A and B are shown apart, each in its own frame.
Chain A
Amino acid sequence: MEPEDSEKLPDDAPPFLGRWNRVYAAVLVYLASLILILYLITLLFEPSHV
């Protein structure tokens, strides 16, 4: 009882951006941008601004 092919698990490069660290950074930048956009929407539609 052992997982099959467990020794054939290479740590491949990501399919984009070349290195995993860059992919992680892209995800965090995406998160920061999303929060910023949502904050701007909050300000734009605040009851006092309507």
Chain B
Amino acid sequence: MRTVDWTVMFLWLVSLVSFGMYRGRGSSTTSKYLLAGKTMPWYAMGLSILATQASAITFISTTGQGFVDGMRFVQFYFGLPIAMVLLSATAVPIFHRAKVFTAYEYLEQRFDAKTRALVGLIFLIQRGLAAGIGLYAPAVALASVLGWSDRLITVLIGVLVITYTASGGIKALTWADVQQMAMIFIALILSLIVVVHALPANISFLDALHLAGAAGRLNIVDLHLDLSDRYNLWSGLIGGGFLALAYFGCDQSQVQRYLTGKSIAQSRLSLLFNATVKIPMQLFILFIGVMVFVLSLFTPGPMIFQPAEAARAAQTSAWKPVEQQFRQTFERRRDAAQQLAASIRSGGTQKTASLAAFRSAESDYRKARERGLDIVQTLHGGERFDDTNYIFLSFVREYLPAGLVGLVIGVIFSASMGSTSGEINSLATVSVVDIYRRFFVRGRSDRHYLTASRLLTVFWGAYAVAFAAWGARGFGALIVRVNIVGSLFYGGLLGVFVLAFFCKKVGGTAAFWGVLAGEAAIFSVARFTDISFLWYNVVGCIVVVAVALAISKTQPAAGCAE
């Protein structure tokens, strides 16, 4: 990074924190601090919801996913618009009219205190784990670019997040998220312009699309039903739909966003905004990764994208012959790509032969890179090594002009801040409202609970930093599976809210045991089958409802509403 990059990054982060603190001033009551006094417009809530999901690791790993696997990952989001419609019609008006701070507070109104406490604790465990992991993964990736220690980056992000979140509450973080999303869109558009501009002069945009298609990178929709494959139309629509229902309907980090709306209509619009924007946004991010892949067909890149690991592997005796083979396969693939582009343009009979040659060269190139990855894995005692998260950062370092590098790195920083601020704010809210005030210290002044909210925001922020900086190292594969960890709990949460909304005669005890049975079922499926994690939510939800209804059978007139 050059001086101008450091300056841009510094100015961006300072302006983000300052703007958040400025907009969050006057949060002098718990309602203003936790729910922004119910004054937020739909676009601010909508962008904040988008920002909370768009963590830094999503940003850098989605582009990497596009590079190595193409665009089929977008199917994961196909169920999201359906979930948003269902939640707009059900959860939004129910939560608003219940006059609650948290989704779990509503469960006590509907069931009983033990169900509220159980679900609140499940949320604290699941979200608490995710908050630490969410900080750790981007810090490690950014450390490779900045040359700093990942602990220093973790602490820096944590201090900035705690500063504006603890001072201004949800209003501060929502407006910071709005600013952040605007900058993310700008950085993404500029990145795409740069990558397309960097393609060889004789390769048009249409040629690039054809080459991406030939390499299987534009395989967006797959109609085959396969329960063990997470990326096909059906797992996206059904499994992804259930995951989105659980995430946006039962996870306080999302529910709290739309509870800040000035009306039910504004909250609905914020969700429907996400329903229309999320898929195109993910497509755009994946497409940048695909275009970086096309660029890599013509310009030699590293065999290993993680610089420190590449340097370590280069010290081994096995490295040199593998790298030499990698360079040879690159040259053969580059020539085959040029040949294929030319034959597609001319429309001649050479097309089929050129395609076969290109695909063979691409396969050899991939095998050569895998041999390089094997060397790193051997250095790690056979532990799986994946450098997907470093591909986009490698592109940023190599191709973006001075100033834009600082902006993109700053945006990745702030994406990590946006998701972490939402998490610690919601963790503090549940800790105060569902645990502290409900079970330990009742009947104190609003000022007392406001102070408790601020202190718990600092506590959860400090916890996330400590977990990311010192605790996450032992979790290894768990970090890679952050979405899977979420799915272990979401099915149970979704099931209890389905009972609450639709099964009017099911009581608290049935719901409580239903949640426990649902969680047991999810952990059994995860442990003993190879079913994709997207289906855990479906399994968990069905088991919760079925067990609760079965228990309710012992009581008269139990059942779900029409």
CB-based contact B210/A10 at 8 Å? no
Q: Which of B31, B82, B216, B340 contacts A4 (CB 8 A)?
A: B31
CB < 8 Å A-B pair total? 113
Give A residues with C-beta under 8 Å from B: 1-7, 9-15, 20, 23-24, 27-28, 30-31, 34-35, 38-39, 41-42, 44-47, 49-50
Instruction: Check if B355 is an interface residue, CB within 8 A of chain A.
Output: yes
Pairs A–B under 8 Å by Cβ, sample size 12 = A2-B99, A3-B259, A6-B96, A9-B38, A12-B264, A14-B269, A27-B276, A38-B74, A38-B221, A39-B223, A41-B218, A46-B219
CB-based contact B221/A9 at 8 Å? no
In the bound complex, residues from chain A placing their C-beta under 8 Å from that of B78 are 31, 35
Number of interface residues of B (CB under 8 A): 56
Q: At the interface with chain A, which of B84-92, B111-119, B130-138, B486-494?
A: B84-92
CB-based contact B101/A3 at 8 Å? yes
The secondary-structure label for the interface of chain A is: loop
A27-B81, A35-B78 known; A12-B101 Cβ under 8 A: no
CB-based contact B88/A24 at 8 Å? yes
A9-B38, A47-B214 known; A3-B99 Cβ under 8 A: yes
CB-based contact A1/B220 at 8 Å? no
Chain B 185-205 interface mask (CB, 8 Å, partner A; 1/0):
000000000000000000000
Closest residue to B355 on the A side, CB-wise? A50
A20-B268, A41-B220 known; A6-B276 Cβ under 8 A: no
Instruction: Check if B275 is an interface residue, CB within 8 A of chain A.
Output: yes
CB-based contact B355/A4 at 8 Å? no
Cα–Cα, bound, A42→B279 (Å): 16
Cα–Cα, bound, A49→B211 (Å): 12
A5-B38, A35-B233, A38-B74 known; A11-B265 Cβ under 8 A: yes
CB-based contact A3/B35 at 8 Å? yes
- A46 CB to nearest B CB, Å: 7
In the bound complex, residues from chain A placing their C-beta under 8 Å from that of B283 are 38
Interface-central residue, B89, B265, B279, B446, by most chain A CB under 10 Å: B265
A11-B265, A47-B213 known; A30-B218 Cβ under 8 A: no
A1-B30, A14-B265, A50-B214 known; A30-B100 Cβ under 8 A: no
In the bound complex, residues from chain B placing their C-beta under 8 Å from that of A30 are 81, 276
CB-based contact B31/A47 at 8 Å? no
A2-B99, A3-B31, A27-B84 known; A35-B221 Cβ under 8 A: yes
- A37 CB to nearest B CB, Å: 9
CB-based contact A46/B272 at 8 Å? no
Cα–Cα, bound, A38→B70 (Å): 13
Cα–Cα, bound, A28→B344 (Å): 37
Cα–Cα, bound, A41→B218 (Å): 8
Mark out the residues of chain B between 164 and 207 whose CB falls within 8 Å of any chain A CB in the assembled complex: none
